[in-house]
Amino acid sequence: MPSVYIKTYGCQMNERDSEAVAAQLVAKGYTLAPSEAVADVILLNTCSVRDFAEQKALNKMVNVIAETRRTRPNVVLGFMGCMAQSRGQELVDRLPDVDLVLGTQKFHHAADYLDELLAGRREKIVDVAAEQGSEATIREHLLYGNAAGNGDGRRPPLQVTAFVSIMQGCNQYCTFCIVPYTRGEERSRSIPDIVAECRQLVSQGVKEITLLGQIVTSYGKRGFGRAELLLGQDAQQRVPTTVVGRAGSPLPADGGASVPASRLVSSLAPPNDTVAHGVTRPSLQESPFVQLLDAVHEIEGLERIRFTSPHPKGYGDDLIEAYARLSKLVEHAHLPVQSGSDRVLKLMHRGYTRARYVSIIEKLRRARPGIGISTDIIVGFPGETEDDFEQTLSLAREVEFDQAYIFKYSQRRDTPAAEMANQVPQKIREERNQRLLEVINEIAKRRFGAFVGRQMQILVEGPSKKNPARMTGRTRCNKIVVFDGSERHRGQLMDVKITRAGSFTLYGDPAILE
């Protein structure tokens, strides 16, 4: 059978899409090649968020073409994901050696398309059309990593963490962002469907699940209808959820996807109302996303829940309350702020102010003392003045992020910001990037240093990438801890004493616990 090599650029959503495509191909009998040099199919899963990411994938394909076409002319070459979606046919016109261009709603067709190309039934395939229901097709996992499908008979170690895609698309239309154009409108999977996938993962040994989406706090608000109440006689009784599909027809409920009846509230119904069954709704109305968290939290054997990326706009009191209430929801929030200046936030169309953002952080820290907070920040957005930038520096100092991903603003086609006047010169973007990085690093050094001497619980994920002789685990507040351990620790929740802090890494010792 042919072998495939997938190289992934960009975010965790892309990682997850690549895994689902690889799992689909393995199920069809493909093997996973250890490198592109020996693969029959080479796919690049692309990112469009910044021009740099697109150029990297384009250059990579140029190199792959140069290396393969001379000696292995029959290797199938393809682009998939965000750049494939936004550029489509243009990619084949520019690089005629490319055989396949697979858009973001088409991943589940990968195996069929590759079969056709490998068999010579079709010469080129470009498919970037929208497809209804595609959000529910990212569901297969490769829990034994890249080694799965190699067929050497050895059982590779299990992955103890997994990503689960809960929705696709984004309707926020931030003026800088290409995502709504590459990922389409928001479309959510049903709660029973997601819970069934999580349950399956847990039954295979997964301990920690990260719920994924471009804007997870908008989960269930559009496109898939509403979480329907199935309140029984007793409002406290746990009941299965029924989810109404697009056309309004009830989808079959998964018997296991139960949430406390008292928490299940239709997102479309007014609060404090009386439902047909004569049961009063709770005053704190839960968003569909919090209902989903409740349902996933019920899964026995699951130890930890994470999610990314939320939008600050979606941090209502119900979500803050969920942090206080749900013990498996870990003490970490990745909350992209983008800027500390209200003027820039407005130009970005973010839908919150600096004061609102800071108040969310304060509430989260009250609900979960010690919560780790990470963020994304863009420097050099069009029209960003020195004063605006200094407000971002002051926000970083005020919030004291544990970690921040800093992006130099990149003009993206068809986005409103690309057409704005006062584009900030590249040199200033770089200089601001450097200045912000210094502030972020200084704060992180202090915050990471404060962990030394403390005892922390980690979930052991596997060998350290830098030094495979050591193991790594992750704290609930999302800090990586490296320690001397062995494969027998994999998947264990264990306490370690932090002995040293590096930049964005902690070092621990399980042996010296008091």
Of the pair 179, 264, the CB lying nearest ligand SAM is at 179
Peptide linkage before 309 cis (omega within 30 of 0): yes
> Is residue 341 a contact residue for ligand SAM (CB under 6 A)?
no
Cβ 188 to ligand SAM, closest distance in Å? Answer: 15
Residue 283's contacts (CB-CB under 8 Å, 6 or more residues apart) are 271, 272
CB 429 within 8 A of CB 381: no
User: Look-up: residue for tokens 């690049």?
Assistant: 44
How many other CB atoms sit within 10 Å of the CB of residue 505? 15
For the bound state, the minimum distance from the C-beta of residue 350 to ligand SAM, rounded and expressed in Å, comes to: 8
x/- track of binding to ligand SAM for residues 367-396 (CB under 6 A)? ---------x-x------------------
Closer residue to ligand SAM in complex, CB, 215/498: 215
CB closer to ligand SAM, 45 vs 410: 410
Element (H, E) at 51: helix 51-71
CB atoms within 10 A of CB 444: 19
In whole angstroms, how close is the CB of 408 to ligand SAM at the nearest point? 6
Site for ligand SAM in 152-181 (CB under 6 A): 174, 176-177, 179
Give the span between the Cα atoms of 448 and 470, in whole angstroms: 20
Burial class of residue 116 in the structure, from the number of CB atoms within 10 Å of its CB (0-12 exposed, 13-18 middle, 19+ buried): middle
Q: 3-class SS at 279?
A: coil
Could you say which residues in the range 198-257 bind ligand SAM, by CB under 6 A?
A: 214-215
- The one-letter amino acid code at 380 reads G
Is 404 an interacting residue with respect to ligand SAM (CB under 6 A)?
no
Out of 311, 368, 429, 476, point to the residue binding ligand SAM (CB under 6 A): 311
Q: Is 30 in the site for ligand SAM (CB under 6 A)?
A: no
261 binding ligand SAM? (CB under 6 A): no
d(CA 180, CA 193): 24
Looking at the Cβ atoms of 281 and 311, the one nearer to ligand SAM is 311
Using the rule CB under 6 A, which residue among 9, 409, 451, 483 binds ligand SAM?
Answer: 409
Closest CA to 78 of 128, 34, 142, 31: 128
Total number of residues binding ligand SAM (CB under 6 A)?
19
**What residues contact 234, with CB distance under 8 A and at least 6 apart?**
261
x-or-dash string of contact with ligand SAM, 471-510, rule CB under 6 A:
----------------------------------------
Nearer to ligand SAM, 199 or 429 (CB): 429
Please, what is the minimum distance in Å from the beta carbon of residue 58 to ligand SAM? 17
Q: Which single residue is written with the structure tokens 């890249």?
A: 146
In the three-class reduction of DSSP (H, G, I as helix; E, B as strand; rest coil), residue 504 is classed as coil
Binding site for ligand SAM (CB under 6 A): 11, 49-50, 174, 176-177, 179, 214-215, 309, 311, 336, 338, 376, 378, 407, 409-410, 412
